[in-house]
Structure 1
Amino acid sequence: MLDDHNQQCPVARALEVLGDRWALMILRDSFDGLRRFSELQKNLGLAKNILASRLKLLVEAGLLAQQPASDGSAYKEYVLTEKGRSVFPIVVGLRQWGERFLFEAGETRSQLVDDREQPLETLQVRAKDGRVLGPENCRRRVVRHG
């Protein structure tokens, strides 16, 4: 539950949904095309009860939707919603930060590439006019939504 200070903060609200490691790992695997509980469980090595609770939270938050399996079997699949797909730049940003700061030279790691097998451009925060921005160029202000 958010305190009064964090009630107006979009970062705090986002972390209420995405702040759990497993939530982001499930979404990462969903971006890679995994849809079934068994696929996610096998890939993540996560206990079934923990996976079930995280999937339930992601469905309740509107990031994933549950639907009948695409192959017509009795299984259910978890598919990304538009809200879930919009988390992709966050996951890419975390990946790029990890690539830059958390691996030693020569250490094996995975790499995200585009549909032409090219590495992605490093994400940057930009102003509407195209300028690259850092924390020193930005400030928060309170606005009323709607």
Structure 2
Amino acid sequence: MVKRTSLEGNGCPVARSLDAIGDWWSLLIIRDAFVGRRRFGEFQRSLGLAKNILTIRLRALVDRGILTTEPASDGSAYREYVLTPKGRGLFPILVALRQWSEEFDQRPEEIATILVDRETGRPVQKLALCAQDGRLLGPADTTLRPRTG
């Protein structure tokens, strides 16, 4: 496997986040963890990823604190992969990616699922960036400034 350049020390939080997440396979593993997959075999069947690559990705997600391993919930000798608070913090990112695809995909009719509120069964609202006073913000409404203090 090609060694990638680390972005961990980069000053940009987007680059640092991408360094922590890893790659698109890792995001798909995290997606699967959100829908309840916990075992190596479940991830492997869902993704069709070669076992050696899946092993590397799962190990990296554990090393980065996104997943942890726990004894199997059924008492067997297996280990299960569970999202940590850091991993659960990726939920809005996955929702944003999903909603972006739903809006701009060339074949939206092929998207197999919709994200709904478990309590009401209704689709979730589109994520929006709001100012502290509640105004909706777009790219032209924001800027970057040096961190002080």
TM-score exceeds 0.5: yes
Report the 3-state secondary structure (helix = DSSP H, G, I; strand = E; otherwise coil) of the residue aligned with 2:80: strand
**Deviations, residues 115-134 of structure 1 (Å, cap 9, x unaligned):** 02211100011111111101
Structure 1 counterpart of 2:7, from 2, 11, 17: 2
Alignment correspondent of 2:21: 18
Alignment correspondent of 1:55: 58
Structure 2 counterpart of 1:140, from 139, 144, 148: 144
CA distance in 1, matches of 2:111, 2:68: 34
Structure 1 runs (4+) greater than 4 angstroms displaced: none
Which amino acid is 2:97 matched to? Answer: L
Alignment correspondent of 2:124: 120
C-alpha distance 64-119 of structure 1, shift in aligned 2 (>3 A): same
The size of the alignment, in residue pairs, is 143
Alignment correspondent of 1:104: 107
CA distance in 2, matches of 1:121, 1:76: 36
C-alpha distance 87-114 of structure 1, shift in aligned 2 (>3 A): same
* 8 Å contact kept, 2:30–2:87: yes
> What 5-or-longer segments of structure 2 have no aligned partner?
1-5
Alignment correspondent of 2:3: none
**Percentage of matched positions with identical amino acids:** 52
* 8 Å contact kept, 2:102–2:108: no
Report the 3-state secondary structure (helix = DSSP H, G, I; strand = E; otherwise coil) of the residue aligned with 1:119: coil
**Deviations, residues 77-121 of structure 1 (Å, cap 9, x unaligned):** 000000000000000000000111114364352111110221110
Alignment correspondent of 1:90: 93
Which amino acid is 2:78 matched to? Answer: Y
